[in-house]
Structure 1
Amino acid sequence: MTPDLDHHRDLAEQLHVLLCEAPDGLSEYQLIQQLKARHSTHIPHLSLSDKLVLFRTHFLVFNALYRLRDRLWAEGSAHLEIGPLRIRLSPYQAGVQALGEQDSLRDYYLDERHLRETSERDVEKLLESFWTRMQGNEEKAAALALFELEDGPLDYALIKLRYRQLVSQHHPDRGGSTTRLQSINKAMEILQRYYNRP
């Protein structure tokens, strides 16, 4: 059961508090873990290894983030940077960080039909198509995000360790998802190209 989106303002406020406490920003994963640690009633407290739970949690968080960004911008109090690896509050500067006329991601997450109407099969299709859209540095950034690692000087041994942890956690024999496991394997192939150099 997902929380009712009528409470999105409360979730937005909770996210605002967390982001104010983290001036360098947080990843989506860190935000979700902190919401769970503070017993937020606005996200599902179920395992994120379930594709549909993962999607619904992600959707609720991003719906609230875009609502928060709009409100902070309207108030002229801050700018909320919403990126794939980092979500961060920065000072408001009129005219410099104006919102684009057309923001397709914002439109997607503010359309609550996507939360209600997205099925488990739809989520599988999204995951299957995810890697086909990634190229170059985007591909590397997406692989690092899936592994919950930061870019920078990374030891290949750490990447291999993280890979083994994720495979163990998401293996279908342990109740995990085949699609998720395929994504993890693809991410490892990508990271090997960048980090496993002689």
Structure 2
Amino acid sequence: MTTDLDPAQDLCEHLHVLLRETPQGCSEYQLIQMLKARHSTHIPHLPLKDPLVLFRTHFLLFNALYRLRDQLWAAARGHVSISPLCVQLLPYQAGSQALSEGDTLRDYYLDISHLRDTTEQDVERLLSSFWTRMQGGDEKRAALELFELDQHKALKLADIRLRYRQLVSQHHPDRGGSTERLQSINTAMDILQRYYY
């Protein structure tokens, strides 16, 4: 690893090392903890209980992950599967270059102005809006339907995670699925993990 890298590129390199060391993949939280354990200077070393610290840590991590994914893909050296529950380095498989186009999450995280311009009040509004939507229960029902799970059956988070992994594997763009469907699956998982512990 060279020492003249800009901070964002240096974080990409750190993440590449960590992902190679965990071939089974790891969660966003685990990645953050591994970076902190290695005394990375590229993420805040503050408690994640503060919403703005959490947002900034999350944003920096996902910005670097999307940059790393683009770099590996362009060099035909691998693919980074990115979701909060599992970030995993996968072998490169030739496919359509269109896979990286039209990805709204990628566009959001690669626009560094979102990190710079998002205030504590913005984060609070995002969280408030999220919880207001969650209280209706319609999203939970819709997420369970997307996962083809019976809402009247006693479910555990382990069951939901297993179904999530099955759906991601089945609908991943590298395997002929669509980016839109994969984003819907990720959104549904984000919703369900708030209800099941």
Shorter-chain TM-score range: 0.5 to 0.7
The answer to which of 68-77 and 89-98 deviates more is 89-98
What residue ranges of structure 1 are gaps of 5+ in the alignment?
Answer: 1-5, 142-149, 155-185
Q: Note if 1:15 corresponds to 2:15.
A: yes
Contact 1:79 1:97 in 2 (8 A): no
Cα distance in structure 2, aligned partners of 1:138 and 1:97: 32
* Partners of 1:53 and 1:86 in 2: CA distance: 21
Q: TM-score, normalised by structure 1?
A: 0.66
In 2, distance between residues paired with 1:72 and 1:189?
A: 33
Q: Percent identity?
A: 62
Tell me what 1:118 maps to.
118
Matched, 1:37 2:37: yes
CA distance 1:138–1:80, shift in 2 (3 Å) = farther
Q: Which residue of 1 aligns with 2:129?
A: 129
The 1-side partners of 2:99 and 2:129 are apart by 28
Q: Which runs of 5+ in 2 are unaligned?
A: 1-5, 148-155, 161-190
How much does 1:189 deviate?
A: 7.9
Deviation at 1:98, TM superposition (A): 5.5
- Could you tell me how far apart the structure 2 residues matched to 1:189 and 1:15 are? 27
Q: After superposition, give the CA deviation of every residue in 1:112-144 in whole Å (9 maximum; x if it has no partner).
A: 1101110001001111222427534479x9xxx
| 1:151 alignment partner AA | L
- Is the 8 Å Cα contact of residues 143 and 192 (structure 2) preserved in structure 1? no
* Matched positions, count: 148
For residues 86-108 of structure 1, the C-alpha deviation after alignment (integer angstroms, 9 at most, x for no partner) is 00011111016862420100110
Who is 1:163 aligned against? none
* 2:101 paired residue number: 101
> What amino acid does structure 1 have at the position aligned with 2:50?
D
Q: Distance in 2 between matches of 1:106 and 1:44?
A: 22
| Rounded Cα–Cα distance in structure 1 between residues aligned with 2:62 and 2:100 | 17
Matched, 1:151 2:187: no
RMSD: 3.0
Alpha-carbon spacing, 1:43–1:91, altered in 2? closer, same or farther (3 Å): same
In the alignment, the residues of structure 2 paired with residue 188 and residue 72 of structure 1 have an alpha-carbon distance, to the nearest angstrom, of: 30
- The letter of the residue matching 1:76 is A
Does the CA-based 8 Å contact 2:28-2:83 persist in structure 1?
no
AA in 2 matched with 1:190? Y
Supply the AA of the counterpart residue of 1:152. Answer: A
